[in-house]
Structure 1
Amino acid sequence: MHSIAFQIGRLNIHWYGIFIALGFLAALAVLQYKRKYANMTPDQIFDIGIIAVVGGVIGARIFYVIEFRHQFSGNLLKIFRIDQGGLVFYGGFLLVLVILWLYSRWKKLSIARIFDIYGPAMALGHAFGRIGCFMQGCCFGRPAQHGGVAFPAGSAPALKYPDFATTKIAENGQTFICSLSLHPVQLYESAANLLLCIALLLLFRKVKKVGQIAASYFIGYGLIRFSLEFLRGDHTDSILGMTPAQFIGIFIMIPCGIFFYLYFGKYGEDAYAAGKPE
């Protein structure tokens, strides 16, 4: 994989940044498509899009620095190099939820409806983002017994899972070792998020109460992430024998999703009091 797409002068344009940008545009398109459901104007949709980018990046980077703090012990300025990858989804997700709640109170909007349209938008944007992770070589998987993808020498996967059979020595004596064949777990998650987005969009025609689509996203993504974490090979910390993402998924995302689905099913307002969606 080559993390750099092209150069403009001395500026390297990374695939990671390109796919993050594409993910933002895709998510914004979903939000605009479903804005009438949330009774929002195009300007308000743009506002929450900016919230997603700014709040998401800040929260995701904070969680990454906490989880992989050993990477920054010798150079704190690396904390700001987000162009080189290094975002933890749950960090951005949780911060954005808080900011959206504050925004809904300020604009007197239904937070449940905002979360409903945010679910499929988040899933689609995340699908693009994981392709960026794959191109960058972050969030990599464990060694695969059959198939898999090898990452180039010098990448994070190659440093953790070197395949010494690929060793090459340059004329200057520098050694190059590619990675073992690893599960392309980033692409697995990208495909799963795309399917989740489609399922949530279809659910708009079936759901009866507001908040249940958002709850379905919590459950769906919690299950996806918990399962795929077993194939991840980049973690260093654990909580009760689980990765931080598994802990959040099984103890926060899924239980909250089930609770909100049942709660809104009983007490939530009708999703389409004025008729079915477009």
Structure 2
Amino acid sequence: MLPTIQISSEIHVPTYYLVICVVVALCLLWIVRRSRQKNLNATLTLDLSLLIMVFGFIGGRLFHVFYENLNYYQENYLRILYFWDGGFVFYGGALLSGAVGIGYLYFKAHDQMEKYLDLLAPVLALGYGLGRIACFLAGCCYGRACDLPWAVSGKHPAQLYAVLWELGVVLTLIGLEKARSEIKLIMAPGRIFYTWMIFHGVGRLIMESFRDDFRGPTVGFSISSWISWGLIILGLLLLWKKPLDSNG
């Protein structure tokens, strides 16, 4: 674990935010490049990415505040603004930014909305996967007790399991894209994104099964597990409704 990097006796840089900043910059560069390669509007893509960043930050923070630790923030509502102390929930950010992003695409590029979703899919997988490195360094989202050779401080490195899974998802989605272009397999727009939904949901369920940190109030499963099941089911339904051949 390396929660901070000491620059001087008075300056300490939180590795969590450092990693997140680097990951966001990489993802922005990649998605703009991808948009140009696929002849999609780079300006619209960048605007969409910025919306996802802003509302992902807000949603992740608010989900933590109102779901995980409301009593603490009710003592002093100004603490909600102390985001540097930590406290974010990925799915909170994903749900809010997803709703805003889809709404933006609906009004700005309705006819190409699913093409932009496919554009986002591998970038989202990469951003989430590399972002879990920040969790590992900060020591949050830790796993259950473990005596296996790869245990870290006697616990499952659940964060690194997520990193490996999502990097595999990135490679799989890129492979599907290449199959579509090189083998001339005509896959209807949206299928790449819906596939990501399924893979991400499965990967998150695996990670949840290893985690041992506070998961908030549960009803059989953690809220993250329920959302993951929802993603998997919705992704399967959307794939089932979407024809393989967009011309058929």
- TM bracket, shorter-chain basis: 0.7 to 0.9
Cα 1:197–1:71, aligned 2, differ >3 Å: closer, same or farther?
farther
- CA contact 2:105–2:113 (8 Å) conserved in 1: yes
Would the alpha carbon gap of residues 8 and 56 (structure 1) be closer, same or farther in structure 2, given more than 3 Å must change? farther
Unmatched tracts of structure 1, length 5 or more: 151-180, 271-278
Q: 1:194 to 1:236 in 2, by over 3 A?
A: closer
Which amino acid is the alignment partner of residue 125 of structure 2? A
Q: Is the 8 A contact 2:143 2:211 kept in 1?
A: yes
Question: 2:68 matched to 1:68?
Answer: yes
Q: Is the 1:85–1:133 contact (alpha carbons within 8 Å) kept by the matching residues of 2?
A: no
Specify the alignment match of 1:149 in structure 2. 152
| Cα distance in structure 2, aligned partners of 1:6 and 1:117 | 38
Q: Using a 3 Å threshold, how does the CA distance of structure 1 residues 53 and 8 change in structure 2: closer, same or farther?
A: farther
Structure 2 partner of 1:217: 196
Asked if structure 2 preserves the Cα contact closer than 8 Å seen for 1:24 and 1:49, the reply is: no
191-200 or 216-225, which deviates more: 191-200
Q: TM-score, normalised by structure 2?
A: 0.86
- What's 2:51 paired with? 51
Relative distance call for 1:38 and 1:115 in structure 2 (3 A) is: farther
Once residues 246 and 53 of structure 1 are traced to their aligned partners in structure 2, the CA distance between those partners, rounded to angstroms, is: 23
User: What is the Cα deviation at residue 9 of structure 1?
Assistant: 8.4
> Which residue number corresponds to residue 213 of structure 2?
234
User: Shift of the alpha carbon at 1:253?
Assistant: 0.3
Match for residue 130 of structure 1 among 116, 126, 132: 132
Match of 2:157 in 1: 184
Residue of structure 2 equivalent to 1:96: 97
Deviation at 1:237, TM superposition (A): 3.0
Post-superposition offset of 1:220: 0.1
Deviation sequence 1:91-144 (CA, Å, 0-9, x none): 111111111122213323422111111111111111221011111111111111
| Aligned residue in 1 for 2:117 | 115
Query: CA contact under 8 A between 1:142 and 1:231: conserved in structure 2?
Result: yes
Other structure's SS at 2:135 match = helix
Measured in 2, the distance between the counterparts of 1:215 and 1:239 equals: 27
Instruction: Report whether the alignment pairs 1:106 with 2:79.
Output: no
Q: Does the CA contact (< 8 Å) of 1:30 and 1:120 recur in 2?
A: no
User: Which amino acid counterpart does residue 192 of structure 1 have in structure 2?
Assistant: W
Alignment identity in percent? 26
1:85 corresponds in structure 2 to: 86
Whether 1:256 aligns to 2:243 is: no
Structure 2: 5+ residue runs without aligned partners?
181-186
Q: Secondary structure at the match of 2:6?
A: strand
Q: Cα distance, 1:182 vs. partner?
A: 1.3
2:40 alignment counterpart: 40
1:228/1:73 CA distance change after superposition, 3 Å: same
For the Cα contact (< 8 Å) 2:143–2:213, is it kept in 1? Answer: yes
Larger Rg over CA atoms: 1
Q: Which amino acid aligns with 1:15?
A: T
Is residue 2:196 matched to residue 1:194? no
Alignment RMSD (CA, Å):
2.2
Contact 1:23–1:127 under 8 Å retained in 2 = no
CA shift, 1:200, in A, is 0.8
Moved more, 70-79 or 87-96: 70-79
Q: Greater helix percent: which structure?
A: 2
Contact 1:16 / 1:83 at 8 angstroms: preserved in 2? no
